Amino acid sequence: DTAVSQTPKYLVTQMGNDKSIKCEQNLGHDTMYWYKQDSKKFLKIMFSYNNKELIINETVPNRFSPKSPDKAHLNLHINSLELGDSAVYFCASSPANLVDTQYFGPGTRLTVL
């Protein structure tokens, strides 16, 4: 009965590669998010989608592209990976009636070599 799930949990890849991280929520929430947590544990928003529409697109390199095929999924595709992309990426979701209450997934640790 996982609420917000992400795959893979760990991702190790070479510079220049393209990779995707998948996120699914089974809570029936309308809004989904991607956050990045750096090596100092600082959490920062990258994107948010509400009912499949992009709401927030922070200053993130355009190598990062979110894709929301339906309300339950928000995937993150990263092109031409760089060393500085190494971080933990968290997906989150929130319900329409409690827009602030965000539920986080377990995270994907991305390591770029």
Nearer to other proteins, 78 or 92 (CB): 92
Nearest distance from residue 12's CB to other proteins, in Å? Answer: 16
- Residue 84 phi/psi, 5° resolution? -70, -10
Token pair recorded at residue 110: 């991305």
Residues 11 and 112: beta-carbon distance below 8 Å: no
> Which of 20, 26, 28, 58 lies at the binding interface for other proteins (CB under 8 A)?
58
Pairing between β-strand 10-13 and β-strand 108-112 as defined by DSSP bridges: parallel
List interacting residues with other proteins (CB under 8 A): 4, 30-31, 33, 40-45, 48-50, 55-56, 58, 90, 92, 96, 99-107
